[in-house]
Amino acid sequence: MFSLQIRKHRREMDKLNLRPEEGEFTPRAVAALATDPGGDTFIPPHAHRRGQLIHAISGVMIVGAAAGSWVVPPGRGVWVPPGMTHQIRLAGEVKMRTVFIEPGTRADLGSACRVIRVGALLRQLIVAAVSLPLDYAPGSRDERVMELTLDEIEAAPALQLHVPMPHHARLAALCEELVRDPSLDATLDDWAQRLHMNARTLARLFQRETGMNFGAWCRQVRLLLSLPKLAAGASILEVALSHGYESPSAFTAMFRRTLGMPPSLYFRQEEE
């Protein structure tokens, strides 16, 4: 059975020069894999038998699933539960380090996607784990490294880098338009007219479908989708205007309010 799954994954990923089965189908409960796919890349929808913590050492990943999208800048990681279909858009020179975890190994890892902060200890553990043999000996130092890695993943704080997507088909289509082009002008009245409903009805629908009000959702989308361009070196002025903000100061204020620091410092911060 495993050999059939391996061949399926190879067919899916060979075109992208990715071989996740090396970390997924191993004799141990935890394994780590390094992948450097290069420049802007799209990894199409797929699922893994194991859960995975995907860490971006450089570049930005946007991980999409049925529940929404998660933006993963450097110094962060995203937990993808076992069996969850997802896709990954890579912006810039992304260097991925993935920890594959056998289902049931740690119950506290959860059944939903989330972005976590990868601090200095967890980062070094992941780097060390990548160099370990896939068949490390039970009870060895290598196994203890993996166990500590799991401890740190469980303890890492979750970050608000999530864009929830509605299930309502026509509303989802409008949301996807803004995700594709965050510079678009989007107002509740305009969207209500396009959906042939009144603004109050749309506001209630939007809150019910996403858990956020319309304005907050648009701001979150625009802010999080600005991260790939910032990581690639675009100016704050360019990013602000291409993501629907009237001025760099308005963008910077929103960035600081949401992520706790100005964009000029976000990608230069040192992990504590």
In DSSP terms, 58 is beta-bridged to 95
Percent of the chain with pLDDT over 90: 45
User: Are 178 and 218 in contact, with CB atoms under 8 Å apart?
Assistant: yes
Q: What is the pLDDT of residues 182-207, one digit of tens each?
A: 888 899 999 999 999 999 999 999 99
For 257, the token pair is 């309010």
User: Are 94 and 56 in contact, with CB atoms under 8 Å apart?
Assistant: yes
Q: What is the pLDDT of residues 6-29, one digit of tens each?
A: 444 445 445 445 555 666 778 899
- 155 and 173 belong to one structural domain: no
- 219 and 117 belong to one structural domain: no
For the segment 82-99, the average pLDDT, to the nearest whole number, is 87
pLDDT at position 5 is 42
- 145 and 31 belong to one structural domain: yes
With CA atoms as reference, report the closest residue to 61 among 27, 101, 83, 89. 89
Residues 6+ apart with CB under 8 A from 253: none
Q: What is the CATH number of the domain that holds 211?
A: 1.10.10.60
- Residue 180 structural domain: 166-266
With CA atoms as reference, report the closest residue to 117 among 157, 149, 148, 146. 157
- 7 and 139 belong to one structural domain: yes
Last residue of a domain, one of 107, 133, 159: 159
Output b/e per residue, 248-267; b: 16+ Cβ within 10 A. beebbebbeeebeeebeebe
With CA atoms as reference, report the closest residue to 146 among 79, 96, 78, 100. 100
Last residue of a domain, one of 106, 134, 159: 159
Last residue of a domain, one of 141, 159, 177: 159
- 12 and 147 belong to one structural domain: yes
- 189 and 213 belong to one structural domain: yes
In a domain, 271, yes or no: no
Q: What is the pLDDT of residues 70-81, one digit of tens each?
A: 888 778 899 999
In this prediction, residue 158 has a pLDDT band, given cuts at 50, 70 and 90, of: confident
pLDDT at position 232 is 75
Q: Could you tell me which residue, 209 or 92, shows the higher pLDDT?
A: 209
Per DSSP, 29 falls in state S
With CA atoms as reference, report the closest residue to 116 among 151, 80, 76. 76
> What pTM, to 2 d.p., does this model score?
0.72
In DSSP terms, 242 is beta-bridged to none
- 31 and 154 belong to one structural domain: yes
- 22 and 93 belong to one structural domain: yes
**Among all chains, which residue has been given the structure tokens 């190994």?**
105
For the segment 251-270, the average pLDDT, to the nearest whole number, is 80
